[in-house]
A and B are shown apart, each in its own frame.
Chain A
Amino acid sequence: MLKYADAEPSAFASMLGGLIEANVANRLEKRKDFETLAARVGIFVTDIDEGVTLEFQSGSLVVHNGLQPKRDITIRAEADTVMNLSNLKIGPFGMPVYYDEVGRGIALKLVRGRLRIEGLIGHLATLNTVTRIFSVK
C-alpha cells in the first residue's frame, strides 16, 4: 500500500507516509477515499525548507522526498500549520470543518497567505479527499 520512492526517505516523508498508512488502516471511511484517489500532492514546509510529494494511485501511495514535477496540488505552510491540517475535523458530506478553533486558524492562515494552496481551482474535490485521508479526527 505504501512505498517510498527514495532509498532513504526523509524524516518528513516517513512521518507523512506513516500517518496516512495508520489512518487508512484504522478507518474504513479513509480507506474508501484512499482507494479512489489518484493525484500527485506536494506538501512543502516553509520554515524547514522540506517537502514531499504524495503520489496517490487509487489504493496505493508512493511518497517522494522533495517536490516532484506534475503535481495536481501543492500545499505550502509552516510546520505548525501542516500539523494542524491533520487536526481538521471532517463534517457533514465529508467537508472539512472551518468554523471550529482549528478550522478558523487554518482559514486565517489561508487569508493571510501563510498557507498557500496551488492548483486549488479544478482540484477542490481532490483537496477535500486528501484532507479527509490526512485528518486524524
Chain B
Amino acid sequence: MAVKFASDEWARQFKDEVNRSSVYKSAAKGWKWTVGLVVEAEPDKNFPESLGVIMDLFDGTARDIKVGPASEAQQCDFVITAPYTRWKQVATKELDATKGMLQGKLKLKGDLPTIVRYTKASQEMTECTTRVPVEWPDEG
C-alpha cells in the first residue's frame, strides 16, 4: 500500500528497505556519517514547506531515518538538496541521482572523495527509495 511521501511511515519503510538490501550492506561498509536530504518546498505542487530527511547510517545499516525540519537535515555531515519535483524524479527513476549531481540538479555538500568512494552505496540507497510505494502530494 502506498504511503504519503515524507511521512513517518514512508521513513520507516525506506529504512526497512535499506536494511533489507544486501547490496547496500556490502557497499556501505565503513560508512559512518549522517546524511540529510533537503526537499525544498514547491507550493504549486502541493508541497508547501521544505522538509528534511535525516539519516543516521553506520557501517552498512540504517540506524535511523526520520523526517524533520530542513534545518536539521542541513546539519548532517553530507547534505543533498533539491526541490520536491527533483526528488520525485529520483524516486520514480526518471532522474539518475549520479547524473543529477553532475548536472547540478541535486546539490551536494560534504567531503567529495568520501561520497565518491561510496558511489555504489548511494546508488543502492536511491534504489531503496524507488521500492517504497509512494502517494505523491501533487497526484490525485
Chain A residues engaging chain B, CB cutoff 8 angstroms: 10-12, 14-15, 18-19, 22-23, 26, 45, 47-48, 50, 79-80, 82-84, 86-87, 136-137
- What CA separation (Å) do A22 and B99 show in the bound complex? 21
Partner of A19, one of B96, B98, B113: B113
Asked if B2 is at the interface of the complex by the 8 Å CB criterion, the answer is no
Contact partners of B123 in chain A: CB under 8 A: 80
Asked if B29 is at the interface of the complex by the 8 Å CB criterion, the answer is no
Closest chain-A Cβ to B113's Cβ sits at a distance in Å of: 4
Question: Main secondary structure on chain A at its contact with chain B?
Answer: helix
- What CA separation (Å) do A15 and B106 show in the bound complex? 12
Interface residues on B, range: 10 to 19
Partner of B117, one of A12, A47, A48, A136: A136
Partner of A87, one of B101, B107, B119: B119
Closest chain-B Cβ to A98's Cβ sits at a distance in Å of: 18
Contact partners of B113 in chain A: CB under 8 A: 19, 22-23, 26, 86, 136
- Contacts of B81-140 to chain A: CB distance below 8 A: 96, 98-99, 101-105, 107-108, 111-114, 116-117, 119, 123
